[in-house]
Homo-oligomer: A and B are copies of this chain.
Amino acid sequence: METRTQDTASFEVTPWEVRGKVDYRKLAEHFGVKLITESELEQIRKLAGGELHYLLRRGFFFAHRGLDSILQRIEKGQRWALYTGRGPSADLHLGHILPWMFAKWLCDRFGVELFFEMTDDEKFLVRDLPLEEANKYAYDNALTLIAIGFKPEQLHLIIDTEDIKYLYRIAIRVAKCLTLSTVKHTFGFTDSTNVGAVFFPTLQIAVAFLPTELYREETPVLIPAGIDQDPYFRLARDVADRLGYPKPCTIYCKFVPALTGEEKMSSSRPETAIYILDDDKTVKKKIMNALTGGQPTKELQRKLGGNPDVCVVYRYFQAYVDDDSLVSKIYNDCKSGNLICGECKLILYEHIVRLLQELRERREKAKDVLEYYRISTKFR
Q: How far is the CA of A230 from the CA of B125 in the complex (A)?
A: 26
CA distance A192 to B181 in the complex (A): 6
Q: Is the CB of B161 within 8 A of A175?
A: no
Stretch with Cβ within 8 A of B (4 or more), from A74-82, A193-201, A289-297, A340-348: A193-201
Given A131-B172, A169-B161, A176-B125, verify A191-B195 contact (CB < 8 Å).
no
Report the minimum CB–CB distance from A210 to chain B (whole Å). Answer: 15
Q: Is A184 an interface residue (CB 8 A)?
A: yes
Residue of B nearest to A162 (CB): B165
The reply to whether the CB of A282 lies closer than 8 angstroms to some CB of chain B is: no
Q: Say which residue of B125, B175, B190 sits within 8 Å of A172 (CB atoms).
A: B125
Inter-chain CA distance A175–B193, complex, in Å, is 10
Task: Answer whether residue A105 sits at the interface, using C-beta atoms and an 8 A cutoff.
Answer: no
Tell whether A300 is near chain B: CB-to-CB under 8 Å: no
Q: Are A180 and B173 in contact (CB under 8 A)?
A: no
Say whether A228 faces chain B, with CB atoms less than 8 Å apart.
no
Tell me whether A177 is interfacial, beta carbon within 8 Å. yes
Q: Which of under 10, 10 to 19, 20 to 34, or 35 or more describes the interface residues of A?
A: 35 or more
With beta carbons under 8 angstroms apart, the residue of B171, B190, B202 that contacts A180 is: B190
Q: Decide: A176 near B196, CB < 8 A? Known: A169-B131, A181-B191, A191-B181.
A: yes
Contact yes or no, B194 A175, CB < 8 A: yes
Residue-by-residue, is A111-147 near B (CB-CB < 8 Å gives 1, otherwise 0)? 0000000000100110000010000000000000000
Evaluate contact between B195 and A179: CB separation under 8 angstroms.
Answer: yes
- Report the 10 A-B pairs with minimum CB-CB distance, sorted nearest first: A175-B196, A199-B199, A181-B191, A164-B168, A180-B191, A172-B196, A175-B195, A165-B165, A178-B195, A176-B194
